[in-house]
Amino acid sequence: MTDSTLGESVGAKGTTDIQNAYMAMARTKRMYGGIILIVFIALMVSGFMLADSRNAGGFWDGILNIFKFPGEVLEEASEKAALIPALMWKFLPSMIETINIAAAATLVGGLMAIMLSLLSTRGLARFPRLIAPFRRLMDVLRAIPEIVVALVLIFILGGGPVPAMIAIALHTAGALGKLFSEVNENASLKPLEGLESVGASWSQRMMLGVVPQVAPNWLSYALLRFEINIRASAILGFVGSGGIGYDLKNAFSWGQGRYDEVAAIFILLFLTIVFFDQLSSHYRNKLIGKA
Amino acid sequence: MTATADMTGATDLKQTATALVARKRLVAILTPIVLMGYFVYLFFAFDLPGLAERARMDNAKILIADSYSYKTHITHDNRNGGLVFAIEGESKGTYPEGMIPDFVTPVGEDAVNIALKAGESAEIEGSTLRYTIPDYGTVTVTVEGRDIILETPDGQTPDWISASGARVNITGEGGRATVTRARTEVYNYSFGWELFWFTLDSPFYGKSLGELAGLAVSGDRVVADKSNIAAMVHDFWNNAMWRHKDVIWAIFETILMAFLGTMGAALVALPLAFLAARNFTRLMSIRFAVRRFFDFVRGVDGLIWTIILSRAFGPGPMTGALAILITDTGSFGKMFSEALENVDDKQIEGVSSTGAKPIQRYRFGVIPQITPVLLSQVLYYLESNTRSATVIGAITGGGIGLLLTQAIITQKDWEEVSYYIVLVILMVIAMDWFSGWLRGRLIGKSEEH
């Protein structure tokens, strides 16, 4: 009898303890959350004010003007609406060049990424000791912004699509290499053992044992990269190599009177990006669904 | 009966299998052929044969040599007399009165001996330049009135000397010299990034690390009104040649653009994503409108947004931040709404069974579920946007991208270009590491590959 009352009171005391401990924990957690929130808001506000003060035009002036330029472009484009299709046709070769840069860079960078990823995946690597150096190489390739490589290469090779292509390809090699090697890590090693037992060389093992397992995922990542690379190649054109970006810069710097060209290029770029977005997401869904 | 059915089934199966294998074989053969064909087309579309002609390998040589070495100009004014010593020939790098580089020995009024690399030497005496090369002899170039007279030991002009009536260029192994009517100039190449720490007008210039450390701890003040460490920091920070202050500010501006843009985009996209998610917005039309808005923002590329915004806001970090914000609102909106559609309803039901209001249901039933997905996406974008901010800075004119393009366009300060490139790479790697660390801390699983 006495025992049971003792047990009960201990139980009640235990529950209170647990409740207190839980409430204390919840309070600390809430406090940490609050602190993080305050720090975050402070960072955002002070960052915004700093950026605003270091900008040539202030935020509040700019926000009122934000529709001025698109308005001017739209106005002029609507006046010359009949000319737009012809202009779009005129800029189509540049658009194709931009797409070609992206496609070539994705292909070349993808092939480099395949090599790098196979060389830097545990269990598959040709030289297991060199896994870490190859990974660091991919890190550096990913870290260098395309524009840096492109501008340096423009100085050496002159303008044109090749500097942009090389710059994007190098970045693609790093970015895809990392994703590919993550895919490779999930590949089954059994086919490799089988191939090795019949005396297959390293390249044969990779071609026949690994590639069939991982190809759909590789392709899906490469398609996503292609989409990103089209945007990158348009931007690089604006900074100095060929393609639609270069035409956009020229049309843009002519100022008023050529805004119909700006509008035509905007539309062309928009349609191209949306088209390749849809295309690549369609095929990616198909590939991943199959895998 | 059953046997024939099996037989036909087997033949069917065999036929499908054969067809499948045949198709696979065709694909396996056709893919490389198509790829080869595409590369051949590109070979001509990109004008690769012409590229070999356009390529300027001498530019590459200048670039590489310049990135790890610097040159000191020793200039004699042939009209008014007087010698000037300047690093990279810039006024910011000019040696002050009474200070000369250590490879120069004064031998008289307006006359110096210059020891160059590879055993070569040069002597400037008034308007006369004597350039001595071992195993060859001394080349003498004299400016007399309107004439430039070139004398070589064998009377011939070798191909490393280019001479015309108005200009003589000598390109030796260890140095270079140029003579025009106005000035005689000798360039000496040395290894390193000179003046990186302190410029010539700083009292700390030319001191070794040990001496600097000694000065830092000693009480004797080099500059009267500052402690030695403060003076050193001041001189380094305000270095006119390398502009460390501006460069660090530019890096900071770039990171600021990425931070404001990414976080701003996430804040804008989150409420919109609820409107675009099937399980939170029953009204088809709203969902459709918000989704098309996301698609539109994503489809109008970052490049176009950047151009439009730079018209309204002018150059600077705010423009870059807003460009990133607008572009990524589309991407985040799409990803967040997909994450919201995959939310588990049980947790929300559990929260609503306790009598929670809608806001509380979202706060305690939905947000905890999507936080990990959200955070990892946002942090990934933060890292990738640091790179984008460099490019956007080059277009709008802000941050390190602007400094980089300016330095490359002037085509002479390649050591500064390499300095910026190193800083950009370090910045991106640091952001990569930081976002990975933060993700590990907040989500609680470290994804170290």
Read off the pLDDT of residues B307-344 as tens digits, 9 standing for 90 and up: 888 888 888 888 889 999 998 999 999 889 888 888 88
Q: Do B56 and A252 touch (CB under 8 A)?
A: no
**Mean predicted lDDT score pLDDT of chain A:** 86
Tokens at B134, concatenated: 């071992």
Residue B150, min C-alpha distance to chain A (Å): 33
Q: Which residue, B184, B186, B189, B160, is CA-closest to B174?
A: B189
Angle formed at CA B277 by CA B274 and CA B281, multiple of 5 degrees: 75
Nearest residue of A to residue B316 by CA position?
A55
Instruction: State whether residue B292 sits within 8 Å of chain A by CB.
Output: no
Read off the pLDDT of residues B164-173 as tens digits, 9 standing for 90 and up: 878 888 887 7
Instruction: State whether residue B179 sits within 8 Å of chain A by CB.
Output: no
pLDDT score of B447: 45
The pLDDT-based confidence of A229 (bands split at 50, 70, 90) is: very high
CATH of the domain at A240: 1.10.3720.10
Chain centroid, CA A95 distance in Å: 21
Tokens at B327, concatenated: 């572009």
The dihedral built from the CA positions of residue B20, B26, B29 and B30, taken in this order, carries a sign that is: negative
Answer yes or no: is B43 within a domain: no
Nearest residue of B to residue A94 by CA position?
B45
The pLDDT-based confidence of B442 (bands split at 50, 70, 90) is: confident
Answer yes or no: is B60 within a domain: no
Sheet with B167-171, side-by-side order of all strands: B83-87, B69-77, B183-191, B175-180, B167-171, B161-163
Q: Do B449 and A182 touch (CB under 8 A)?
A: yes
My answer on whether B258 and B363 are in the same domain is: yes
Tokens at B177, concatenated: 């010299």
Nearest residue of B to residue A243 by CA position?
B46
Answer yes or no: is B2 within a domain: no
The whole-angstrom separation of Cα B209 and Cα B87 is: 21
My answer on whether B257 and B359 are in the same domain is: yes
Residue A264, min C-alpha distance to chain B (Å): 12
Contacts with B298 from chain A: Cβ below 8 Å: 277
My answer on whether A9 and A131 are in the same domain is: no
CATH of the domain at B303: 1.10.3720.10
The pLDDT-based confidence of B3 (bands split at 50, 70, 90) is: low
10 Å Cβ neighbour count for A56?
15
Domains contained in chain B, number:
3
- Domain final residue, candidates A36, A62, A88: A62
Nearest residue of A to residue B303 by CA position?
A235
Query: SS3 for B357?
Result: coil
My answer on whether B91 and B207 are in the same domain is: no
My answer on whether A58 and A75 are in the same domain is: no
Q: Do B253 and A51 touch (CB under 8 A)?
A: yes
Residue A82, min C-alpha distance to chain B (Å): 22
My answer on whether A254 and A166 are in the same domain is: yes
10 Å Cβ neighbour count for B281?
18
Residue B59, min C-alpha distance to chain A (Å): 6
Mean pLDDT of B137-163: 81
Contacts with B264 from chain A: Cβ below 8 Å: 44
Q: Do A55 and B318 touch (CB under 8 A)?
A: yes
**Which residues make Cβ contacts (< 8 Å) with residue A123, sequence separation at least 6?**
A185, A189
Residue B144, min C-alpha distance to chain A (Å): 39
The pLDDT-based confidence of B267 (bands split at 50, 70, 90) is: very high
Instruction: State whether residue B36 sits within 8 Å of chain A by CB.
Output: no
Query: SS3 for B122?
Result: strand
**Which residues make Cβ contacts (< 8 Å) with residue A133, sequence separation at least 6?**
none
Residue B411, min C-alpha distance to chain A (Å): 8
Q: Do B301 and A231 touch (CB under 8 A)?
A: yes
**Which residues make Cβ contacts (< 8 Å) with residue B393, sequence separation at least 6?**
B250, B253, B254, B257, B317, B320, B399, B400, B401, B402
Read off the pLDDT of residues A186-212 as tens digits, 9 standing for 90 and up: 888 899 899 989 988 988 889 888 988
Q: How many residues does chain B have?
A: 449
My answer on whether B370 and B417 are in the same domain is: yes
My answer on whether A9 and A91 are in the same domain is: no
In chain B, residues 223-262 whose CB comes closer than 8 Å to chain A: 253, 256-257, 259-260
My answer on whether A51 and A83 are in the same domain is: no
Read off the pLDDT of residues A251-272 as tens digits, 9 standing for 90 and up: 877 776 778 888 888 889 889 9
Q: Do A160 and B411 touch (CB under 8 A)?
A: no
Answer yes or no: is B220 within a domain: yes
Answer yes or no: is B7 within a domain: no
Mean pLDDT of A78-99: 87
Q: Which domain holds residue A256?
A: 71-290
Which of A43, A104, A245 is opposite residue B42, by nearest beta carbon? A104
The dihedral built from the CA positions of residue B195, B196, B202 and B205, taken in this order, carries a sign that is: negative
Query: SS3 for A122?
Result: coil
The residue among A156, A186, A227, A272 with the most chain B CBs within 10 A of its CB, best to mutate, is: A156
**Quick check: B6 pLDDT over 70?**
no
My answer on whether A94 and A56 are in the same domain is: no
Q: Which domain holds residue B327?
A: 244-443
Answer yes or no: is B161 within a domain: yes
My answer on whether B231 and B251 are in the same domain is: no
Instruction: State whether residue B311 sits within 8 Å of chain A by CB.
Output: yes
Answer yes or no: is B57 within a domain: no
Q: Do A158 and B56 touch (CB under 8 A)?
A: yes
Strand partners, B147: B144
Q: How many residues does chain A have?
A: 291
Domains contained in chain A, number:
2
Residue B232, min C-alpha distance to chain A (Å): 27
My answer on whether A41 and A149 are in the same domain is: no
Chain centroid, CA B348 distance in Å: 47
My answer on whether A41 and A78 are in the same domain is: no
My answer on whether A78 and A207 are in the same domain is: yes
**Quick check: A279 pLDDT over 80?**
yes
Instruction: State whether residue B423 sits within 8 Å of chain A by CB.
Output: no
Contacts with B67 from chain A: Cβ below 8 Å: none
pLDDT score of A168: 94
My answer on whether A43 and A160 are in the same domain is: no
My answer on whether B235 and B258 are in the same domain is: no
My answer on whether A78 and A56 are in the same domain is: no
Read off the pLDDT of residues B69-97 as tens digits, 9 standing for 90 and up: 777 888 888 777 777 787 776 777 777 77
Widest CA span in chain B? 120
My answer on whether A146 and A183 are in the same domain is: yes
Which of A40, A55, A156 is opposite residue B314, by nearest beta carbon? A55
My answer on whether B421 and B332 are in the same domain is: yes
Residue A44, min C-alpha distance to chain B (Å): 7
Nearest residue of B to residue A233 by CA position?
B303
**Quick check: A58 pLDDT over 90?**
no
Which of A142, A145, A152 is opposite residue B391, by nearest beta carbon? A145
Residue A141, min C-alpha distance to chain B (Å): 9
Angle formed at CA B238 by CA B236 and CA B244, multiple of 5 degrees: 70
Contacts with B47 from chain A: Cβ below 8 Å: 160
Nearest residue of B to residue A36 by CA position?
B442
Contacts with A212 from chain B: Cβ below 8 Å: none
Query: SS3 for B145?
Result: coil
**Quick check: A111 pLDDT over 60?**
yes
My answer on whether B300 and B386 are in the same domain is: yes
Mean pLDDT of A219-223: 90
Mean pLDDT of B357-364: 83
My answer on whether B235 and B248 are in the same domain is: no
pLDDT score of B446: 44
Which of A100, A139, A274 is opposite residue B299, by nearest beta carbon? A274
My answer on whether B221 and B141 are in the same domain is: no
- Domain final residue, candidates B159, B191, B223: B191
Which of A51, A97, A165 is opposite residue B256, by nearest beta carbon? A51
My answer on whether B299 and B327 are in the same domain is: yes
Q: Do A68 and B312 touch (CB under 8 A)?
A: yes
- Whether B185 and B178 have beta carbons less than 8 Å apart is answered as yes
**Quick check: B263 pLDDT over 90?**
yes
- Does an H or E element contain A79, and which? helix A68-79
**Quick check: A125 pLDDT over 80?**
yes
Out of B226-235, B282-291, B418-427, least confident range = B226-235
The pLDDT-based confidence of B448 (bands split at 50, 70, 90) is: very low
My answer on whether B207 and B96 are in the same domain is: no
10 Å Cβ neighbour count for B386?
29
